[in-house]
Amino acid sequence: MLDLRKSTSDPISRMFSNPMGLPTGIENLDIHLHGLHPGELIIVAGRPGMGKSSLARDIALSVGKESTVLFFSLDSTSEDEVEDLLLVNLAKVNYDDICRDGLTDKVLPQLKKARAQLLSYNIIIDDNSRTTPDSIRQILKSLNKEETVSCVIVDYIQLMSLGKRVGNRQEEVSDISRELAAMAKENSVPVVALSQLNRQLEYRESTRPRLSDLRESGSLEQDAHKVLLLHRPSYYEIKLDSTAEDSGESEILIAKNRKGKTGVVHCGWMSDYMSFVNIPKEDLETKSSKEVDNDDF
């Protein structure tokens, strides 16, 4: 409880002592978000194939250079597979080529160099499919005794359970959302939680996602400090025409931002190593990031 009549804190110094939070690795996105800040719940949402897990790994690599990241992989991706994908991202090599052709003389030196780099990153991966908000709290409490965890990533929220009976799945997701938001505040750490979007958006004339597409619970929108929606137009073009090529054009829609602007951040998608990359300002031309109304989402 804070009684402003008796407050001795200095909000001016507090606001400007560290205006930029943790980096996402995408400069244009960080300019809009001012980074990821302690106490925030950040929802990253998209349909399957949009690159949610890829963006989560991008964030983990960006933050993990200097600070400790706790990465929960709740889907079928194992700890080893997450490590492999982080390695491919760092090495900037074609993952499909490696799966098809194996380790060739061309990619092996790049992977060895990236492996040496990855060992210096502060990333802790947990692939327990039975992860709950309470189990994350316990892991955070244990780790924080030895080092400070600066960011928590959950991939993804619809695969998480409370570990107890609830009325229905929508209620459970709502409770999980509130628990993650509370955890972010209690531990003064940004929590990045991935989420699915409803299938209905694929039947609209425009496949650009909206806040209302968040799956199973409106509380995700309510509890989140920031909501990022992923959209890759080429994904749907390829579904309609198998001969179409991936242009790499991608959008991160900032659909909610309590402390700043909403808008569209244009970025590049590198399908070879499954990563989002920043587009230099001079290359954006008419696609520059812009402020829009929440109603557009």
Give pLDDT tens digits for 136-174. Answer: 999 999 999 999 999 999 998 988 888 777 777 788 888
- Do 201 and 32 touch, CB atoms closer than 8 A? no
User: What pLDDT is recorded for position 106?
Assistant: 84
Predicted TM-score of the model (pTM): 0.87
Residues near 9 by Cβ (< 8 Å), separated by ≥ 6? 2
Note the pLDDT tens digit of each residue in 11-65: 666 555 556 789 999 999 999 999 999 999 999 999 888 999 999 999 999 999 9
Cα–Cα distance between 172 and 161 in angstroms, integer? 7
Read off the amino acid at residue 257: N
- Mean pLDDT score of the chain: 86
Question: Phi/psi of residue 278, each to 5°?
Answer: -75, 145
User: What pLDDT is recorded for position 297?
Assistant: 55
254, β-bridge pairs: 228, 263
Note the pLDDT tens digit of each residue in 231-284: 988 877 776 667 777 788 899 999 999 888 899 999 999 999 999 999 876 665
What is the band of 286 on the pLDDT scale with cuts at 50, 70, 90? very low
Note the pLDDT tens digit of each residue in 80-135: 999 999 999 999 999 888 888 787 888 899 999 999 999 999 999 999 988 999 99
User: What pLDDT is recorded for position 186?
Assistant: 94
Largest CA distance in the chain: 69
Write down all domains in the chain, each with its CATH number in brackets: 30-227 (3.40.50.300)
DSSP assignment, residue 197? Answer: B
